[in-house]
């Protein structure tokens, strides 16, 4: 892996492409990773890239970057850049990431890996090429301490053999029918609606927690509000061309059945990714709005059985030992910092790191199968292996 | 309605057919209805009916009945019986209830109305006949104060127009694969598995809360444990022939989509009927394990928005004014007492009472459609109107 | 104990003195005890006693009593009365109970045992006399299944040695300063304010859970609203002469420290008796507004430590086996029914039953010591042994 | 304020004195403040100061400091240092802060302001001197968004006039009697036990939320475990000379009564600062273990009254607009970043900033009064004005 050693001095030079919501969250991670994870290779926050020169220059100064740039193609070729972190809108992920891999860089791609299965496949192939840098997909919820703990407990058999899973990701930012049209509600720019945006997180968690991919689905998509105020001055309504709610059942080869429900219309739910895993000997429950907690039920003897609320802030639990003392909770942003740490460690050691591009492809195939099922009236659809 | 006046003195004579779990719960209601609802017509706890003479005699003494009997046909003809309350296993509901109606009695039938749509239709027809007594179906959860309040709030438009509903009814008494075979797990005796047992409650609540029946469904049934220890001495396994988990999406004419998930395998869930109703201007959440509480979210202005936990024990809330002061919670059994009160009041006034037999038929048709959909691979199925 | 056998036939004849809130709650218990606890001696609901003849006659009919009466002295002498259940206002408890004991009856007294320590001592002496009937004090929360379980767990050492307890009983029915004057707010009729009314429950629970009485206290009483609208037509304000909030620390001989806070001004709290017990190896938490639940924390190894929410509805937990299947919660009223069952069982066997009159005296001494401490500016006061 | 302009270029040079728990938390704040609050004056992370040269050098590199030093006296005189942030153990606060003020620096002092009232008074005087820099005390919980919201709601009269407050701060890190002796358990080094460490947070919150200082107290201190394994090899036990639990009632001039309970022995509680404020028209509840949430009860009309769980992540709520979208929770560390932002803004504008040194003195006086009361057996003690 010598060819991937830092180009300059001891620290890996990073460029983040994109500076809106995800660019900010990733910048925060790069700025803090060394403080919380001093054991991983160091980084140099080199370049923030965006299309609007003035805006990206201002953002770079705020967020702690050494410089800013507007041409990502140029940046990924620079010698002082070792890691390219792709935070653009999803339809640009494939192009940027492929170019960065071709330029010999390590590449982190924010989810989704890409908007289409075909693009995902191209990325998986590129990442597997000889001499390619380390790659990682930014499903940051794999670094929620409570979910990493959940995975460990399941892998240890603490809840027995899993049978039934309930997945829901509910938000309400589109519940107001007067909320205006955006690019996220047009098929051509967004690719998908809530299924791709939130469903992808839920499906990735299922794969992560079970260690097994979904093999067959039934699904149903729905657009509750089909027209919204357009962006023009004439007040004309514009057609919404993506889903704002979706339902599915997901089957795995070992016989697990998971239900999935996602919505942007769930009034009162702000960011509620709820996961319930029922096994033969226990169960686990989680809600992202209380991401420092995990409810764990283990079947046992005696009169004090029930579900235990675990405040996941102890040093022997995943990630949190790097943060604060027990009872001092971490924020949503911590997941990106821990993700960056794992990526840097993998770069340092050359070891595999999850989620891989193949993991992203697996999610995309499940989402595609759900769309196929929905289009067919809810028929069962196998997921391409 | 003079023909339905009490046969003897001022109180209506009641016979309950069946004395196991539901017979006990209904006996409790008849024993207490006068104390909590002194305004409704009085009752006389006359006869408890069961097949085992010694056992039913003992039960009658315990539960407060004047006498016991083993022949329900004889009992329903007696002049001192005005109300027949059918608490037998489901496959006997139709026969007993039809005979009681023919005998000119008021009839309360524990849910399900009957195991088949055809039987339900016969019962609806009989209840609609000239001169028939008052009838009621025992979906007791309609008398949970919090759910009656939920219905009121929805009817008043407090959460706007309903779009999306989430229904789940989760238990875990079959999570242990070594739990033995029972009549409830055989198709011929039970008719259905968890879908009929628990799903019926959830579907009835949906109808109750929305005031609108389900018109189309997609469904999927699953039996996680397909063989269980039989009742013979040879230790042979016996085939489980009903579902132990089920999933569906339910559609209404006005465009509401409800998801439904029921399970007897949800380790850690004892009796968790969870209902979430999302409207354009608010939402409502409920869990039967905390049946004195309702969570209500109403969209508003200002910085203190969220979901309000309402402890439904105030005098101006449904039913609870008849019980105890604020903060003194009612038990699961109270729902049967309030149900009996509503039934007696309807008998007294001759007014319609819900849930009617037609409400029971509507639920049964939805369940049948879910089974049809599941058998067809999850295809959409219209519910017979 | 033959002299205490039922006077007539096989069932013990019961008279309840008082028919308002507590009279209703106790009537409910006598009406239902045989159905839930068929193993205990039977009862005959004979006489309900009250001062207003017409009202008590109506109440008796509603609540299931055979007859009604207005002269309690006459009733307690009757041969068909075996058990006298005293539900009058507190200042009459001693007189009625002493007379009933003198008449050779079994006596159940609703809490408080009496308004003064001196009266309590007289009652303890009377109950200890040769040939006295069985006596019991109606601290019904000892029959909350979750609290009975808590006591068992503590007695088994599941949370180690107890060090620190937090007791609070918060209501809000006097938070409105315009709420009118009542007899409960006058020292001469009520004896005490919130300390006696709610604090007594909390102190009794402490004694119950620890099995050890309080030996020293510091206390502080407060009347937030000192004048309220009087009952006259002239709109004149009347002085409130009892406390509406109180605080104390309670010490036991073994070194436990308990804090106590009671209030009728805690806006938003309806009936919240909150108990937290911290031991060397675990802790327990309870809230009466969710009385079917207990939170139990046991110190252990491994990454899934926390507090377990136990839904106390399992057959192997105290009392609930007599009620409904798992997950079917009991109401506040169930505690009186279970209390009646324990009392009847004690009558049948002649065994000791708690809480005894001595337990009531112990509580009263603690409350008196708190008042003494408060009057002295919060000085430490020993509780008379 | 020109004399306090940044010494070098446009950004204020910061030195943090101390690099353990609090030094890390403050470093995190300085590293991130510019990214979340780009509107405030910029900072340059110049120097981290500690006694162990090698260790502080390593820490400085990890945490993002330009350099490290071991002599704080030298550092505070340097021209490239504008802000001195004191994170030493409490008994050194006064000396360092006084010197920094004398050197003309802006000074942030981590709580407690100092271990003694006398030292606090000296600091207040120094901060009030002509030409002194801006000062601030690090009671970071004033920057918990939910608590800042609570203060706003109270100030707006949303819960009416406050009457009763319940404060508890419970941890369990000393529940194990075998946990070894540390400097925190010796009077001479720690000054105080749990009262000073945790009680100070609770008292400051009371002052913050009410806008009114405590004027009289009654208090009681307790050491549950009086001996612990010493640090020597001989296994000898050493005397614990500070409190590990404490109780108090706190009175304000306007008549509010607050109870206070703090403990390091509350098994199962990790970092639970619980605050309940009861007013004439509503109430507010908070728990630091769920610091993104606030429960708000406002008395109103209609059948849906209760306590509203507010997820404090909306842009119109305090601080959180600077962080992430709704539903994306912040961590405990965010409070230090927001604190730094407020301090920098105050430096820039010259405006007053809370908590001031006088606020710290007020807290220290309350704690001292509680100790005096406890020493006197719980007698009432006035707080020096």
Per-residue pLDDT of chain A (385 residues; tens, 9 = 90+): 233 445 445 799 999 999 999 999 999 999 999 999 999 999 999 999 999 999 999 999 999 999 999 999 999 999 999 999 999 988 899 999 999 999 999 999 999 999 899 999 999 999 999 999 999 999 999 999 999 999 999 999 999 999 999 999 999 999 999 999 988 899 887 888 999 999 999 999 999 999 999 999 999 999 999 999 988 778 789 999 999 999 999 999 999 999 999 999 999 999 999 999 999 999 999 999 999 999 999 998 888 899 999 999 999 999 999 999 999 999 999 999 999 999 999 999 998 899 999 999 999 999 999 999 999 999 999 998 7
Looking at residue B79, its pLDDT comes to: 96
Average pLDDT in chain C: 95
Q: Which residues of C touch B38 (CB under 8 A)?
A: 58, 62
Q: Backbone phi, then psi, for A268, in 5-degree steps?
A: 100, -15
Q: Look at residue D264 in the predicted model and tell me its pLDDT.
A: 97
Closest CA to B50 of B28, B12, B24: B24
- Give mean pLDDT, residues D130-138: 96
pLDDT of res. D326:
95
Q: Looking at the partner chain, which of A172, A177, A297 has a beta carbon nearest the beta carbon of B268?
A: A297
pLDDT tops 70 at residue C4: no
**Partner C, chain B 240-269, Cβ-Cβ below 8 Å:** 269
B residues 280-319 closer than 8 Å to C (CB): 288-292, 311, 313
Calculate the alpha carbon distances from A358 to A109, A112, A385 in Å: 12, 12, 11
| Residues of D with Cβ-Cβ distance to B298 under 8 angstroms | 304
Going A40 to A45 to A51 to A57, the CA torsion angle's sign is positive
For residue D334, the chain A residues in CB contact (below 8 A) are 331
Select from A62, A289, A326 the Cβ nearest to the Cβ of D35: A62
Q: Are strands C162-170 and A216-222 parallel, antiparallel or unpaired?
A: unpaired
pLDDT of residue B5: 44
| pLDDT confidence bin for D6, thresholds 50/70/90 | low
Name the superfamily (CATH) of residues A2-140.
NAD(P)-binding Rossmann-like Domain (3.40.50.720)
What's the rounded mean pLDDT across residues D127-141?
Answer: 96
Task: For chain D, list the contacting chains (3+ Cβ pairs, <8 Å).
Answer: A, B, C
Q: Do D31 and A34 touch (CB under 8 A)?
A: no
Tokens representing B261 are: 């998930």
Q: Which residues of A touch C294 (CB under 8 A)?
A: 304
Q: What is the DSSP letter of C199?
A: I
Q: Do domains B2-141 and B145-290+292-330+361-375 have the same CATH topology?
A: no
Residues of D in contact with C282 (CB under 8 A): 267-268
What local confidence, expressed as pLDDT, does residue D9 receive?
53
Tell me the CA distances in angstroms from A152 to A159, A279, B332, D55, one per residue in order: 11, 14, 38, 34
Tell which residue, D48, D56, D53, has the closest CA to residue D75.
Answer: D48
Establish if B374 touches chain A: CB-CB under 8 angstroms. Answer: no
Identify the CATH homologous superfamily for domain D2-141: NAD(P)-binding Rossmann-like Domain (3.40.50.720)
Whether the pLDDT of residue D5 is over 50: the answer is no
Sorted by where each begins, the domain ranges of chain B are: 2-141, 145-290+292-330+361-375
**Is C380 in contact with D377 (Cβ distance < 8 A)?**
yes
* Å between B148 CA and nearest CA of chain D: 11
A81 touches A30 (CB < 8 A): no
pLDDT of residue C301: 83
| CATH code of domain B145-290+292-330+361-375 | 3.30.360.10
Task: Convert the pLDDT of each residue in B200-218 to its tens digit.
Answer: 999 999 999 999 999 999 9
Cβ–Cβ gap C378/D299 under 8 Å? no
Residue D250 contacts residue D203 (beta carbons within 8 Å): yes
**Which chains, if any, share at least 3 CB pairs under 8 A with chain C?**
A, B, D
d(Cα C181, Cα A109) in Å, to the nearest integer?
69
Closest CA to C109 of C22, C37, C230, C238: C22
Nearest neighbour of C304 by CB, restricted to A296, A304, A305: A296
Distance from CA of B299 to the nearest CA of A (A): 8
Q: What is the mean pLDDT of chain B?
A: 95
How is D147-213 classified by DSSP, letter by letter? Answer: HHHHHHHHHTTTT-SEEEEEEEEE--TT-STTSPP-GGG-HHHHSSSHIIIIIHHHHHHHHHHHTS-
D12-17 β-sheet, strand order: D67-69, D43-49, D12-17, D83-86, D106-110, D135-138
Q: What's the CA dihedral at D247, D251, D256, D257 to 10 degrees?
A: 30
| B33-51 confidence digits (pLDDT tens) | 999 999 999 999 999 999 9
> pLDDT for C197-247, tens place per residue?
999 999 999 999 999 999 999 999 999 999 999 987 787 899 999 999 999
Question: What's A4's DSSP letter?
Answer: G
Rounded Cα distance between D247 and D261, Å, is 5
Split at pLDDT 50, 70, 90, the class of B4 is: very low
**pLDDT for C8 beyond 70:** no
A92 part of contact set with chain C, CB < 8 Å: no
Write out chain A residues lying below 8 Å of C299, CB-based: none
Share of chain C above pLDDT 90, in %: 90
> Does C166 contact D280 at a Cβ distance shorter than 8 Å?
no
Residue C354, both tokens? 């708690």
- The pairing of beta strand D245-251 with beta strand C12-17: unpaired
Phi and psi, residue B169, nearest 5°? -135, 110
Tell me the nearest-neighbour CA distance from C135 into chain B, angstroms.
25
pTM above 0.80? Answer: yes
Question: For residue B183, what is the DSSP state?
Answer: G
Question: Which of A374, A365, A368 has the alpha carbon at shortest distance from A213?
Answer: A365
| Alpha carbons D324 and A288: distance in angstroms, whole number | 14
Residue D153 touches chain B, beta carbons under 8 Å: yes
Q: Which residues of D touch B310 (CB under 8 A)?
A: 303-306
Quick one: pLDDT band at residue C6, thresholds 50, 70, 90? low
Choose among A366, A193, A247, A257: nearest CA to B166: A247
Per-residue pLDDT band for D310 (boundaries 50, 70, 90) equals very high
C199 touches chain D (CB under 8 A): no
Q: Which residues 6+ apart lie within 8 Å of B54 measured at CB?
A: none
- What's the whole-number mean pLDDT along residues B292-309? 93
Confidence band (pLDDT; 50, 70, 90) for B9?
low
Q: Do A139 and A256 contact (CB within 8 A), yes or no?
A: no
D232: buried, middle or exposed (CB in 10 Å: 19+, 13-18, 0-12)? exposed
C84-126 residue pLDDT tens: 999 999 889 999 999 999 999 999 999 999 989 999 999 999 9
């Amino acid at each position: 892996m010598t060819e991937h050693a830092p180009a300059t001095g001891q620290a890996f030079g990073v460029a983040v492409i994109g500076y809106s919501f995800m660019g900010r969250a990733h910048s925060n991670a790069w700025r803090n990773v060394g403080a919380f994870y001093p054991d991983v290779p160091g980084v140099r926050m080199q370049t923030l890239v965006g299309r609007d020169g003035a805006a990206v220059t201002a953002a770079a100064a705020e967020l702690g970057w050494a410089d800013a740039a507007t041409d990502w193609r140029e940046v990924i070729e620079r010698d002082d850049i070792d890691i390219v972190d792709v935070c653009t809108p999803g339809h640009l992920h494939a192009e940027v990431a492929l170019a960065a891999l071709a330029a010999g860089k390590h590449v982190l791609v924010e989810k989704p890996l890409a908007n289409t299965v075909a693009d995902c496949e191209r990325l998986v192939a590129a990442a597997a090429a000889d001499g390619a840098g380390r790659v990682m997909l930014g499903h940051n919820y794999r670094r929620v301490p409570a979910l990493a703990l959940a995975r460990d407990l399941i892998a240890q058999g603490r809840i027995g053999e899993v049978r039934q899973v309930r997945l829901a990701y509910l938000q309400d930012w589109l519940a107001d029918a007067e909320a205006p049209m955006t690019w996220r509600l047009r098929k051509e720019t967004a690719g998908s609606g809530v299924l791709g945006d939130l469903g992808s997180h839920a499906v990735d968690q299922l794969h992560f927690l079970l260690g097994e991919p979904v093999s067959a689905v039934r699904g149903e998509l729905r657009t509750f509000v089909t027209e919204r105020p357009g962006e023009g001055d004439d007040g004309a309504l514009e057609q919404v061309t993506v889903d704002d709610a979706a339902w599915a059942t997901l089957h795995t080869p070992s016989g697990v059945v998971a239900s999935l429900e996602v919505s942007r219309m769930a009034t009162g739910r702000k960011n509620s990714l709820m996961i319930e895993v029922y096994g033969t000997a226990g169960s686990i429950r989680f809600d992202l709005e209380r991401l420092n907690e995990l409810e764990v039920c283990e079947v046992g003897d005696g009169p004090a059985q029930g579900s235990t609320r675990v405040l996941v802030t102890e040093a022997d639990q995943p990630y949190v030992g790097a943060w604060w003392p027990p009872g001092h909770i971490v924020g949503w942003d911590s997941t990106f910092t821990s993700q960056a740490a794992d990526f840097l460690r993998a770069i340092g050691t050359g070891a595999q790191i999850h989620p891989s591009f193949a993991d992203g492809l697996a999610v995309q195939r499940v989402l595609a199968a759900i769309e196929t099922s929905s289009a067919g009236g809810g028929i069962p659809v196998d997921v391409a292996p």
